[in-house]
Chain A
Amino acid sequence: MSVFVTQLFNGLSLGSIMLFIAIGLAITFGLMGVINMAHGELIMVGAYATYVVQQFFAQYAPQSMDYYYVIAIPVSFFVSALLGLGLEKSLIRHLYHRPLDSLLATWGVSLILQQMARTIFGAPNVAVLPPKWLDGGVHVAGMVFPYKRLFILAFVAVSIFVLYMYLNKTAAGRRIRAVTLNRDMAACLGISTQKVDAYAFAIGSGFAGLAGCALTLLGPIGPTIGTYYIVDAFMVVILGGVGKVIGTVLGAFGIGLIGTLTEYSTSATMAKVITFALIIVFLQWKPSGLVSMKTRSLD
């Protein structure tokens, strides 16, 4: 029983990390259809932003070190969002009708960002010390649930809730959905699609930054952290189905649970192989993913 609960918790925990790295993509890829291979590097930028905030606190306000993380969350969001905005305005704007080309160009961006991180922060990984109040865990019937994992679960739940409310309950969110559903009609009704594209992309990038901030709790970060996660992130969004945020949530927790269950019965490498193979097989059966938008169009 306790083994089962622990595995379930590990699965949810892995799922929450998967979800975090994929929320941003659910907006930029799922809603807007842009293949942003630099998404992983936006995660990296968020992680390094957290690192910089921590260094800043250690330097100038060591007495309030415990609370640096509270500041780091918005900072990592805005740094990545600004970078994303710049990326959209300078590059991605020109490639909306050429998805395969945007894939290649953003891959180029990711290489440049990686090299810049290497130049600024050095090639070795840097460690971000998690705040003290996240040490330890909850003990229930001989099982330990670390605070860090619980915090990430809560963090991702809040993020998803905020994103859902934003997309469904605010005027700006409605505009994003309108442009997603029918770009030309939205433009006819007076929505500036260019503006919507820009801020939707910035928000997606901002969520990537938050993911980076959350990942610093789990281990050291390095310039290539993005490459490590990018394929996983795309798999989550494709498995979940594009166009609906709820699909991404299901996809992430599905991958998390399958991953931990196979890892429990085999090894870490085989778990990854089996999970990916299962996703590929599943997509053969349901090419549009778990939750799909109903459409009558041919392509």
Chain B
Amino acid sequence: MIKKNWMYWMFFLALFLAPFYLTEFRLSLLGKFLCFAMIAIGISLIWGYTGILSLGHGVYFGLGAYCMAMYLKLEASGGRLPDFMEWSGVNNLPWFWKLFEHPIISISSAIIVPVLLAMFLSYFTFRNRIKGVYFSLLSQAIVVVFVTLFIGKQEWTGGTNGLTNFSTVFGFSLSSPLTQIVLYLLTVVLLLSMFLFSRWLTRSRFGRVLVAIRDSENRVRFLGFNPTTYKVFVYSLSAAFAGIAGAMFVLQVGLISPAMMGIIPSIEMVLWVAVGGRSSLIGAIIGAIVTNGAKSFFSENYPDIWLLFLGGLFIAVVLFLPNGLAGVYQSVKQRKKQGEVRANEASSHVLQRVSRF
């Protein structure tokens, strides 16, 4: 265990020191991937630990991002109407946009809005015992609703183009390298705290109930727990992670559009977790970084192959690596350990772990 912890710390130390050894371009790319890693932690919590497959996390990510972007847009317009509103013939700032003039409201709503939506949706769906694939498909319908809405209400959301052309945040220029480094470090701190919190959560009694819900929800119910409460909490928590990720994403990338919260990005989010290992938090982080790294490499160099590669990756991971990269690491380690144990002629049955799913 101590050895394992040591590896985690090395990983996060490497992330902290990244501004020293990466170019500005690579650093901003890594910052973007770390935002995705935050979403991945949330999805790992609900999918790997609780067995809820959500294909709608793009919405929570998008809502968080839009909340932040509205503030940035107002700051960039400097008291005048945002440019896209003038183009669509709006004369006065809508009332809900006015709220986002205050940074505190804007930052807190980047968390609260996704969480409220997630709570509302999950409370009713889980209370009515809609689960498994039905929930997945419903969450996909939510994505369609929001993307259509955001594209359709062009005068409020900027339509297909989304929100972009920001200049400053709290008076600091977004294009200056120093601001970007500070934002990057903030992202790492947030990611680390989410990781530590999730790890604590999954190792607590609460986490054991989550795993029990995944393996047999009815049995949990018969034992006197109410699975709905647990599922609503963990689902809303993952929505909060996605909302924070959205806010940090907008700050670093400077753009949010409905295309980034659609059906395809939402499913890609699940793929990151599947690649990294669905029931491993560190695996989810690494999966998000590796998959997105591969994506930017392939789509820069071989855009035609990227979709084929992505499709093949989906199939290969599901068929051959159900526990992802973390599963590969585990089994390699286990084989080594088993070898040692056999050499000592001790019983090996204790170490034989059955991989579920």
Residues of A within 8 A of B (CB): 35, 91, 94-95, 98-105, 107-112, 114-116, 118-119, 227, 231, 234-235, 238, 267, 269-270, 272-273, 276-277, 279-280, 283-284, 287, 298-299
Contact = CB atoms under 8 A, between A and B. Distances in A.
Most buried by A among B124, B133, B267: B133
B171 to A, nearest CB: 37
Contacts of A227: 263-264
Nearest to B132: A99
A111 B311 contact: yes
B308 interface: yes
B313 interface: yes
A288 to B, nearest CB: 9
Given A227-B263, A284-B125, A234 B140 contact: yes
Contacts of A110: 311
A91 B316 CA distance: 10
Interface string B311-323: 1111101110010
Given A95-B318, A112-B311, A284-B124, A104 B270 contact: yes
Contacts of A270: 152
Interface stretch (B81-89, B142-150, B230-238): B142-150
Contacts of B314: 104-105, 107-109, 111
Given A227-B263, A269-B152, A235 B141 contact: yes
A286 to B, nearest CB: 9
Contact of A105 (B132, B133, B318): B318
Tell me if B's interface is mostly helix, strand, loop or mixed: helix
A10 to B, nearest CB: 19
B308 A104 contact: no
A187 to B, nearest CB: 24
Given A98-B357, A100-B133, A287-B128, A91 B315 contact: yes
B271 interface: yes
A100 B263 contact: no
Contact of A298 (B142, B218, B274, B308): B218
Contacts of A279: 141
Interface string B243-275: 000000000000000000001100100110010
Contacts of A235: 137, 141
Given A111-B307, A234-B137, A273 B315 contact: no
B8 to A, nearest CB: 27
B138 A280 contact: yes
B338 interface: no
A114 B357 CA distance: 29
Interface residues of B, number: 42
B319 A91 contact: yes
B304 interface: yes
Interface in B190-228: 218
Contacts of A114: 307
B145 A273 contact: yes
A99 B140 contact: no
Nearest to A269: B152
Contacts of A116: 308
Most buried by A among B263, B315, B317, B318: B318
A230 to B, nearest CB: 8
A238 to B, nearest CB: 6
B167 interface: no
A49 to B, nearest CB: 21
A238 B145 contact: no
B316 to A, nearest CB: 8
Contacts of A108: 310-315, 318
Interface of B: 53, 124-125, 128-130, 132-134, 136-138, 140-142, 144-145, 148-149, 151-152, 218, 263-264, 267, 270-271, 274, 304, 307-308, 310-315, 317-319, 322, 357
Given A95-B318, A118-B307, A267-B152, 14 more contacts: A35-B136, A35-B137, A101-B357, A103-B133, A104-B314, A105-B314, A109-B311, A111-B308, A112-B307, A114-B307, A116-B308, A234-B137, A235-B137, A276-B142
Contacts of A95: 318
Contacts of A119: 304
Contact of A287 (B129, B136, B141, B307): B129
Contact of B318 (A101, A112, A234, A283): A101
Most buried by A among B137, B142, B151, B274: B137
A115 B308 contact: yes
A284 to B, nearest CB: 5
Most buried by B among A105, A111, A112, A272: A111
B33 to A, nearest CB: 21
Most buried by B among A95, A102, A267, A280: A280
A39 B313 CA distance: 19
B321 to A, nearest CB: 11
B227 to A, nearest CB: 13
Contacts of B357: 98, 101
19 contacts: A35-B133, A35-B136, A91-B319, A100-B136, A104-B267, A105-B315, A107-B311, A108-B313, A108-B314, A109-B315, A111-B308, A111-B310, A119-B304, A234-B137, A238-B138, A272-B148, A273-B149, A283-B128, A287-B130
A37 to B, nearest CB: 8
Most buried by B among A100, A231, A277, A284: A100
A269 B146 CA distance: 11
Contact of B304 (A105, A115, A298): A115
